[in-house]
Structure 1
Amino acid sequence: MLGDSAPKRVGRWGRLQRRVTNAAGGWVDGGPAATKTDARYPISPPWSAGRIRHVGYFGVTAVILVAAIWGAGIDVSRMAEGVSTMWTTLKLFVPPSTGGIGGELFAQLLVTVQIALAATFLGLLLAVPIGVLAARNVAPSPGIARFFRIVIVVIRGIPDLIFAIIFIVITGLGAPAGALALAVGAVGLLGKLIADSLEESDVRVQQAVAASGATGPQVFVAATVRQCAPALAAHVFYQLDVNIRAATLLGVVGAGGIGFYLTNAARVLQFDVVTMIVLMVFAGVLAVEGLAMWIRRALS
């Protein structure tokens, strides 16, 4: 990182000898006399306008963080009290139990997975064209790429919970509202991931395929998509992973799935049932992650 100023190991005892800059801008060998305290050879960078600006950014960020902590009203004494009783509280969550409704819990977990699968599929149908047109190296023009980037940013700026409330009003309570809400949210995340993956592809491969006489669509399929196939598959399974967890949370507001039972168990202080539901969702996420790893190895 330091180039020619890096220390060199010389001498019988492995003594470090620095090369420092002289006043004329050339390089001279500095022995023991050329130390950090020698004013003739300053080591720290000067306080230029750029350095002052960066320090100012750091200071402003620190002030904002401190103000956010103060504004949130975080009570340190209350947190310490909670830590002191943590083990007593954790004992309420073990051992896990189905609470006598094991069959219903597994059925609702299946509904949660179905919501996630439907949302991922519907979101993928819209995210692919939007992500392709948002990639600067694939879009017909820079203006089109910027427009679809803005569309992605707008969609990602709206939480899935807001979409869920909107679709609950439109379609009523149940799984359809959750699937549609997560599908719209998936367009924002998957569209961004697809666009970024396409932009990270090696342009030289595309140029080589184009030089052989391939058309634009042929270059896109044979060079661009082929390079990004493992990453695109991983993105789809990552979105499915996210949707399984999000579907659990959306069930709290009536969007279907096992989240409704999670909320009820917490309300009636059945913390052992809460643990069982969390373990079931965790097992589902691990299964999806293992499948994603296998498919990515197959495509690479």
Structure 2
Amino acid sequence: MMRRLTLCLVAVLPLAAAGCGGDAGSVATGSSIVVKDCAGKDVTFSGPPAKVVTLDGYAAQTMARLGLSGKIVGTGYPAPFTVDTSPYKEDLAKVPVLAERVPVTEVVAAQRPDLVLTAFSAFGGPPGSPKDADLATMNAKGLAACMPGGNTASGLAPTYDYIRKLGTVFGVQDRADQLIAELRARQDAVSTGGAKPRVMIVQDNPVAGQPIKTSGNGTIAHAMLTLAGGENLFPDVSAMHADVSPEQVVKRDPQVIWVITDYTFAKAKGQELVDQVKRNPLLAETTAVKQGRVISTSQYLVSFPSPLNLDGLEQLAAGLREGGA
């Protein structure tokens, strides 16, 4: 599901083309804008899209931070809005909600969008949601946030590149550059001095005889953990929802347990899940539980590319410093 992140955004003008490392380009009369999708294929626009459907609140967040929420004719999965404490929350509250989950193809098509956005790594993941072929049928372009395969410990490149890509498509490159600079400054301000604790990422309360869900090295959560000064207890797995054995968790002995809350498959939400993890006998002998070092963050901040990632990074770094939930 994860595909190689393409970092080259190109604006093609009538007689010239800008390559990687050059100007991302701007909209001009008689010009077209070309960006790469997650498969490395060109997506061409004759001008800024006027009607946009965001399949999820993560993509809508990015649009709002670029001053583009007025172009969104509908969004799916608005749950990430619930953790937004920024002034942009008011803009997002005005966006029509098409579905509480990712909307199905028919609902998206009814909006007659020019562009469909998702912060997931591909289209067509959730059942019934539009695939690439469906977008072509409704004559709409599609752009997903590209997650790289392998280790993302180098930083939040998927987030920054998605912002830059949308800035190019909508002709607001200056605003995109400003937003990226603001987010990078917050990233750089996170202190990572001192020893790096071994951190077990937990997505649900473990059950005896069943594997434990954790986040592997190909995820935004893993990148944040590295930036915040921790070491993933399972750097040798890559899946977003990887299965690991309770025996291996005890053997590797986490010094901190980081509970990512609010996944739909979890048996409990929020603080209730954190409390369950603290009391779970399967984790009782770990250093993390013995020392009371169980921290938490909502998945809406740390699972998919979004400006909210910096809120999650700051929360995680503070939790690792302070050591408690």
- Shorter-chain TM-score category? under 0.3
More strand by share: 2
Q: Structure 1-normalised TM-score? A: 0.23
Structure scoring higher RCO (CA < 8 A, sep ≥ 6) equals 1
As a proportion of its length, which structure holds more helix? 1
Q: TM-score, normalised by structure 2?
A: 0.22
